[in-house]
Every structure is written in C-alpha cells, then in structure tokens.
Amino acid sequence: MTELGVVELSRLQFALTAMYHFLFVPLTLGLAWLLAVMESIWVMTGREVWRDMTKFWGKLFGINFAMGVATGITMEFQFGTNWAYYSHFVGDIFGAPLALEGLTAFFLESTFVGLFFFGWDKLRPPIHLLVTWLVALGSSLSAMWILVANAWMQNPVGSAFNPDTMRMELTSLGEVFFNPVAQAKFVHTVSGGYVTGAMFVLSISAWFLLRGRHVDFAKRSFAVAAAFGMAASLSSVVLGDESGYVASENQKMKIAAMEAMWETEPAPAGFTVFGIPDQETHQTHAEIKIPWALGLIATRSVSDPVLGIRELVEINERRVRSGILAIDALERLRADRDDAQARQTIARHAGDLGFGLLLRRYVDDPRRATPDQIRAAANDTVPRVAPLFWAFRIMVACGFWFIALFAMALWVSTKRAFGKRWVLWLALFSLPLPWVANEVGWFVAEFGRQPWTVDGVLPTFLSVSSVGTTQVWTSLAVFVVFYSALLVADLYLLIKYIRKGPALTPEPPASLSRRASAQALVAEE
C-alpha cells in the first residue's frame, strides 16, 4: 500500500507550485495582448507615447515573464518526479498536449520574447510589431495546450484502457482536442488572464492619475485597459465554465459539490446564493436560493434534473462493484495472457476500473473488499463540499465585480471623466482581485476533481511516485524557500519600476499634441 504521507506531501507541493506558477501566467497572457494593441497603435499613428507605453508595460511584462518561465519548468518535471504512476498510466494521452505545447507554442513565445526586448533598434517597426504579436499568440497557444491536457483529466475522452500495457491509451486525438471541457476551459481561463492584464494596467494607471503623474500616458493606458478588460470580463463570466459541464458525465459530482446539492431536486434546481454546507449531516444550513437558476445554468433546460450527491454516490457504488470485476479479470489475464473471457470482461468493465481501484485505500486486493469497504470507497467520490461551495462563490462574485468595474472605467475614459476619483480608487484597490479569482477558480477545478487525478480513471492516492517522504519534504522545502525569496525580489522590482514610471519621449508642441490626442481618442472609441 502506498504510504499516505507521500500522497499528501506531493499534493501539497503540486498545489503550491501550480498556484504559485499561476500568479505569473495570467498576467503574461493578458499583458502580451495589451502590448500588442499599444504597439499597433504606435505603428499606425506614429505617436511616440504609444511606444513609451509599450516599453514601460513591456518592462513590467519582462519581470513577470521571467518568473513565469522559472516556475513553469517545475510543473513539467513534477509529473515525472512526484506523479510517476500517473505519468505511466496516462502519459500516452496526457504527454502529447504537453509536447505539442513545447513544439508549437513555447518555442514561438520564448524565441521571440528575446527579440521583443532586444530588437527595438534592430528591427523596422512593423517587424517588431509582428514579433510582439507572435509573443502574445505563443502565450495564448501555450495556455490552450495546457488546458487541453487539464481538461482531459476532468473529462477523459478519446482514450481506452489497454490491459497489455496496464495504462490508458489514445483512441482519438480529435476527441481529446475538441473535448467540450477543453474548449470551455480555454476561453474561460485565458479570459481570466486577459482580465488580470487589464486590471494590472488599469490599477497602476489609476495610481498615476491619483498622484497626478504621467497623466497623458496614464489616461491612454487606462482607456486601453478599460476596453480590453470589459471584453475580457464579459467573456470570462458569460462564456464561463458551465458549458463544459453539460457534456461531461463525470463532472456531475463536482457541480453537486460546488452547489452543496445533497439530494437531487425536482427540475429545474435552484441556485444557492448563500449557505453553510455540513459534510457530516449532508445538509446546508441557512440557505438562500434563487429558484430555477442552477437547473438553467447546468442543463440548459427546465426539465432535466441536476443529480444530487446522495444519488451520485449510489451510482458510484454500483461502479465500484463493476470495477472489482475488471480488476478480477486483469488478475486472470496476468496468469494467462490468452484468456479470451478475461479480455471480454475487461472490455466490458474497464470504464469502472478506476472505481475498483478506489478500494486500494482500504484493502490490498479489491476482490476481497467487504460491503462496508465498497460503501466507503463510493463515499470517497464526494469531494469536500464547503471549500468548493465557497471558493466558487468568491470567484463568481469577483467576476461580476470585474464587469461592473470595467464598465465604470470605460465610462470614465470615454467621457473623459477622470475627475471621478472614486472610480480610480476602486480600480486601484481591485488590483489583487483577479489573482484571487484565478487561484480560487483553479482550486475549484482541481480540488473538485478529488479523489481523482483523472476523473473516474485513476485515484489520486495511487498516482504518486515510489519516493520517500524525506525526498518530498526536501523538495517542498527547497520550493518554499526559493519561491518566497523570488517573490520578494519580484515584487521589489515591480514596485521599483512602477514608482520610477515611464521614460517619456519629449512631446511635440502643445497645439499639435492636443489635436493628435483627440485623434487617438477617436481611434480608441
């Protein structure tokens, strides 16, 4: 039996390093496009302030980008170092999008990012602009492949179990790529990144405006961020994640847990705005519900029920029993590789193999499991409800706030009402919120998938490497020390360069400047 300590430590390490990595990724995703937009305006209008903007925000982009690259390598290595059985079991499918990410996206982004910084004097403006666009394209493409890989963990399509190699193998790349969860996740996650980039520029510009520094520069940056952030926050919320859940049988437990829906309710189910979920008694106290809302969101119909946790556990108990048959047949096949009957049984029950493997927490040989153990394994398929319930609501609240804030910011910049200082203050204080939303969003996605690494296929506690706790403690300690020190250096440099402000190219005469800025404003609108 795998030692429990390694499982928990490896999970902790993965959560820490992944969430830390994702402090930097969304800002890279969003800022890259904002740089592309700013530089495009420079190339089209020839006004130097737009190049100054590209360079100033580009410098902050560079500091953040370095942190993203530094922390990203950890992620790729970690599957092999800490999750070796996972890597063996699903590498045939999961490895492909990771390799394709390196090949088609990360090469593009990393090769051209050097030219973005070093190429200002070596490239003609349109070529440099092309380089900037390629960096932005590369970073979003990169996100796409990673989300294709992650979506397969949430909704493992296009694959089948092969008893000869004891692993999942690819049956259709098309299904993996066009996984509905992948499509929804991609739009949702990169939109979250674009919101982050927009908020970063908006907040810092608001700070410049509140201090009365670099006013012309800050107003333009504010306007670009407001428009970009408006589109991004709408896309993130409206084209949110739910659409992906519809097609996904396995995600039903996650939805039920996020909603603290203990029982199946008559369709269409209500959406619980507030409540205190209690895992022990399977009840939610002090509920406030909006009738119909959840049923409409989750099933897009008024007649299909949303299944509750208790009913899902009953279904899963049947799947655990079916999984035992698959495990039994695998044992027979191991004794006699030509046992045709065993192969047939495996083919019929392979879809539930993972549920049978859940028993390995209680008994080394799942074929000897008692009814109590089977029930316990089925109960294990319920993730912890309260953290998911609350994390989801925090994310949604942030999402709606972003729409409201960017709407106000857009109004301020189009009406040139920069005197409304309270909007600027709101923008400044909202700076951390996109990071909060991004992190709790990933928490819902990953914690909500527990007890699985691949939903319904491979339990988390079986996915780890056969390493000792000493090794994992060592690596965990190294990451905590390195990452903390780097975060201090990163924030120090960001604050230093923000305080220093942009290096502005001298303005042309005042009359000319006013006319040109009016033109630029028309272009923005």
Partner 1 sequence: MTVPLDYEILRLAWWALLGLVLIGFAVMDGFDMGVAILLPVVARTDTERRVVINSIGPVWDGNQVWLILGGGAAFAAWPPLYATAFSAFYIPLLLVLAALILRPVGFDFRNKVEHRHWRTWWDWALFLGGFVPTLVFGVAMGNLLIGVPFHFTSELRAIYTGGFLFDLLQPFPLLCGLVSLAMLVMHGGTFLVLKTEGVIETRARRAVLLGAVALVGLFTFAGALVATIIDGHLVVSGLPGDGPSNPLLKKVTVDAGGWLANYVEYPWMLAAPLLGVFGPLVTALLTVMRRSGWAFVSSAAAVFGVVSTTGLALFPFILPSSTNPSHGLTVWDASSSPLTLFIMLIATVVVLPIVASYTVFVYRVLRGKVTAAHIESGGHMY
Instruction: Looking at residues 244 to 263 of the shown chain, list those that interact with partner 1 (rule: CB under 8 A).
Output: none
DSSP-assigned states of every residue in 78-95: HHHHH-HHHHHHHHHHHH
Residue numbers 313-342 binding partner 1 by CB under 8 A: 334
Q: Which of 16, 18, 84, 397 binds partner 1 (CB under 8 A)?
A: 84
Task: Dihedral sign for Cα 410, 413, 419, 421, please.
Answer: positive
46 vs 114 by CB, closer to partner 1: 114
Is there binding between residue 4 and partner 1 (CB under 8 A)? no
7 vs 388 by CB, closer to partner 1: 7
Least spacing, CB of residue 2 vs partner 1, in Å = 9
Residues sharing a CB contact under 8 Å with residue 443, sequence separation 6 or more, in sequence order: 19, 387, 391
Residue numbers 138-177 binding partner 1 by CB under 8 A: 162, 164-167, 169-173
Q: Which of 256, 165, 207 is nearest to 418 (CA)?
A: 207
Stretch of 201-209, 214-222, 361-369, 486-494 contacting partner 1, by CB under 8 A: 486-494
Is there binding between residue 292 and partner 1 (CB under 8 A)? no
Q: Which of 7, 43, 98, 129 binds partner 1 (CB under 8 A)?
A: 98
The site map against partner 1 for 417-456 (x = CB under 8 A) is ----------------------------------------
Least spacing, CB of residue 358 vs partner 1, in Å = 15
Q: Which of 80, 125, 351, 451 binds partner 1 (CB under 8 A)?
A: 80
83 vs 228 by CB, closer to partner 1: 83
Long-range contacts of 14-17 (CB under 8 A, 24+ apart): 14/78, 14/82, 14/83, 15/446, 16/476, 16/479, 16/480, 16/483, 17/71, 17/74, 17/75, 17/78, 17/479, 17/483
Q: Which of 14, 42, 112, 262 binds partner 1 (CB under 8 A)?
A: 112
Is there binding between residue 373 and partner 1 (CB under 8 A)? no
Is there binding between residue 102 and partner 1 (CB under 8 A)? yes
Is there binding between residue 470 and partner 1 (CB under 8 A)? yes
146 vs 269 by CB, closer to partner 1: 146
Compute the distance between CA of residue 391 and CA of residue 431 in angstroms, rounded to an integer: 19
Cis bond upstream, residue 268 (ω within 30): yes
Residues sharing a CB contact under 8 Å with residue 83, sequence separation 6 or more, in sequence order: 10, 14, 453, 463, 464, 465
Buried/exposed 327-350: b ≥16 CB within 10 Å, e otherwise? bbbbeebeeeeeeeebbebbeebb
Compute the distance between CA of residue 97 and CA of residue 146 in angstroms, rounded to an integer: 7
State the SS3 of 271-288. EEEEEEEECCCCEEEEEE
Total residues contacting partner 1 (rule CB under 8 A)?
Answer: 78
Stretch of 64-72, 205-213, 364-372, 450-458 contacting partner 1, by CB under 8 A: 64-72
Q: Which of 22, 57, 94, 442 binds partner 1 (CB under 8 A)?
A: 94
Compute the distance between CA of residue 96 and CA of residue 32 in angstroms, rounded to an integer: 26
Least spacing, CB of residue 55 vs partner 1, in Å = 8
Stretch of 114-122, 225-233, 410-418, 443-451 contacting partner 1, by CB under 8 A: 114-122
Is there binding between residue 25 and partner 1 (CB under 8 A)? no
Stretch of 309-317, 400-408, 435-443, 474-482 contacting partner 1, by CB under 8 A: 474-482
* Three-point CA angle 46, 51, 53, nearest 5°: 135
Is there binding between residue 469 and partner 1 (CB under 8 A)? no
Q: Are 6 and 422 in contact (CB under 8 A)?
A: no
Q: Which of 362, 411, 473, 497 binds partner 1 (CB under 8 A)?
A: 497
Buried/exposed 223-246: b ≥16 CB within 10 Å, e otherwise? bbbbbbbbebbbbbbeebbbbbbb
Compute the distance between CA of residue 333 and CA of residue 171 in angstroms, rounded to an integer: 22
Stretch of 72-80, 190-198, 382-390, 510-518 contacting partner 1, by CB under 8 A: 72-80
Q: Which of 246, 493, 498, 504 binds partner 1 (CB under 8 A)?
A: 493
Residue numbers 167-226 binding partner 1 by CB under 8 A: 167, 169-173
Q: Are 306 and 299 in contact (CB under 8 A)?
A: yes
Least spacing, CB of residue 487 vs partner 1, in Å = 11
- Phi, psi angle pair for 260, to nearest 5°: 50, 45
316 vs 463 by CB, closer to partner 1: 463
